[in-house]
């Protein structure tokens, strides 16, 4: 039977009159890598800090391993936190930094030495064990912070944008290391990031947050293929968003009118609009088919090529159709000129019909 390591029940956090976390429910299973994802200010850090006991909820309950979170767990608390800025003790060596938590827990000296050695080995830090933080790179320092957190064998490791201070290459490298490390140690990781690629690369489950609410959770594939809202479609990957008016639900496929004509698409499971309701369409750029093949699809039309950008493995096309602009990604180098007429189209199974959201109405230019 699966075991729940972290549970949030109707958790609310306010700062003055501002509600940062608005009644969220979440269950994280033991051994999972779960990521809270969302833009700056959506409430993910506040949620993480509450799980870590660094902030108290105004209402609701937080359980770790089925036990209510103690207000001051001290050295024996079941979670440990890793921060973006590493928060290492500058005057302590790697070995001393890593041993610190165990010393606080009054673990015996011989055991401290053995556990520090093991975790330092696991993180590839053995050659740095006598160094001070200032003598190490950002990536190495973050590995020390991870070792320091993991050596105490917490039930849950909480990570707040831990790779945020690293350059892109090191960040990618550390992502792979983190994933491997989490599998090796088998500890539940709750991770916070605003980087959707990082979330997709790392997580068993992604929890997408918006304005203090959880708007969707699932695997990267579930969320990418079946976004619950236009906000999710736009935040996880890229999407062409068009406005429309709902017509009909034919079971499986639904139809709605759009500025391009009537479009067929799929509805999210939990969304059942009525005829005449304002809706949005979401179509991924990689699902827009260009050229003669478009005419064989469920929907096709002709537009004007406004721009082509060659991105190495693919080309990004910008197509205008009347007042509307669409992005299309095609493999390889696309050789046509701006101003050319261009046929485009898509399959209805690649279109999502989503709830209206005023944030996605393009400003009239």
List the structure tokens of 320.
């205008």
Q: Please choose, out of 24-32, 40-48, 75-83, 197-205, the segment that lies near ligand ATP by the rule CB under 6 A.
A: 40-48
Number of residues that bind ligand ATP (CB under 6 A): 11
42 makes contact with ligand ATP (CB under 6 A): yes
Of the pair 42, 159, the CB lying nearest ligand ATP is at 42
Q: Could you tell me if residue 84 is left (phi over 0), alpha (psi between -120 and 50 degrees) or otherwise beta? A: alpha
Task: Describe the strand order of the beta sheet including 314-321 as a list of residue ranges.
Answer: 289-290, 341-346, 299-310, 314-321, 324-331
Taking the least distance from each CB to ligand ATP, the nearer of 211 and 356 is: 211
- Residue numbers 191-250 binding ligand ATP by CB under 6 A: 194
Give which of 280, 308, 123, 292 is closest to 115, Cα–Cα.
123
Residue (57 or 345) nearer to ligand ATP, CB = 57
Residue 108, C-beta contacts closer than 8 angstroms, at least 6 positions apart:
none
Q: Choose between 42 and 215: whose C-beta lies nearer to ligand ATP.
A: 42
Residue 52 found at the interface with ligand ATP (CB under 6 A): no
- Binding-site member from 46, 216, 217, 247 for ligand ATP (CB under 6 A): 46
4-23 residues near ligand ATP, rule: CB under 6 A: 15, 20
Of 44, 77, 148, 352, which one interacts with ligand ATP (CB under 6 A)? 44
Q: How deeply is 55 buried, as exposed, middle or buried, from its count of CB atoms within 10 A (0-12, 13-18, 19+)?
A: middle
List the structure tokens of 314: 């693919």
- Compute the half-sphere exposure of residue 220: CA atoms within 13 Å on the CB side of its CA: 14
Q: CB of residue 192 vs ligand ATP: minimum separation in angstroms?
A: 6
Residue numbers at the binding site for ligand ATP (CB under 6 A): 15, 20, 38, 40-46, 194
């Amino acid at each position: 039977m699966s075991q729940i390591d972290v549970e949030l029940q109707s958790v609310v956090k306010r700062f003055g009159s501002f509600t940062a976390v608005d009644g969220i429910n979440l269950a994280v299973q033991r051994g999972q890598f779960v990521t809270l994802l969302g833009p700056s200010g959506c409430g993910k850090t506040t949620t993480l800090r509450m799980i870590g006991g660094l902030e108290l909820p105004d209402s609701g309950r937080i359980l770790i391993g089925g036990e209510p979170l103690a207000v001051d767990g001290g050295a024996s608390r079941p979670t440990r936190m890793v921060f973006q800025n590493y928060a290492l003790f500058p005057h302590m060596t790697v070995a001393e930094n890593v041993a610190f938590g165990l010393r606080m827990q009054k673990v015996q000296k011989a055991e401290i030495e053995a556990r520090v050695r093991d975790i330092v080995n696991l993180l590839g830090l053995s050659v740095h064990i006598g160094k001070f933080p200032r003598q190490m790179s950002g990536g190495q320092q973050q590995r020390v912070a991870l070792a320091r957190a993991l050596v105490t064998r917490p039930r849950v490791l909480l990570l707040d944008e831990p790779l945020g201070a690293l350059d892109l290459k090191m960040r990618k490298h550390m992502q792979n290391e983190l994933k491997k490390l989490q599998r090796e140690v088998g500890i539940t990781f709750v991770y916070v990031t605003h980087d959707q690629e990082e979330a997709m690369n790392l997580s068993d489950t992604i929890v997408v947050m918006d304005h203090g609410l959880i708007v969707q959770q699932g695997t990267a594939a579930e969320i990418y293929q079946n976004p619950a809202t236009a906000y999710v479609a736009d935040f996880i990957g890229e999407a062409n968003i068009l406005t429309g008016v709902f017509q009909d639900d034919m079971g499986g496929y639904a139809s709605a009118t759009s500025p391009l004509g009537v479009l067929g698409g799929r509805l999210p499971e939990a969304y059942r609009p009525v005829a005449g309701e304002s809706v949005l369409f979401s179509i991924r750029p990689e699902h827009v088919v260009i050229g003669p093949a478009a005419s064989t699809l469920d929907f096709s039309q002709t537009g004007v090529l406004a721009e082509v950008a060659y991105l190495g493995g693919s080309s990004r096309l910008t197509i205008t159709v009347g007042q509307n602009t669409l992005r299309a990604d095609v493999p390889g180098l696309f050789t046509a000129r701006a101003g050319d007429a261009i046929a485009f189209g898509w399959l209805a199974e690649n279109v999502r019909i989503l709830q209206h959201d005023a944030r996605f109405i393009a400003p009239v230019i």
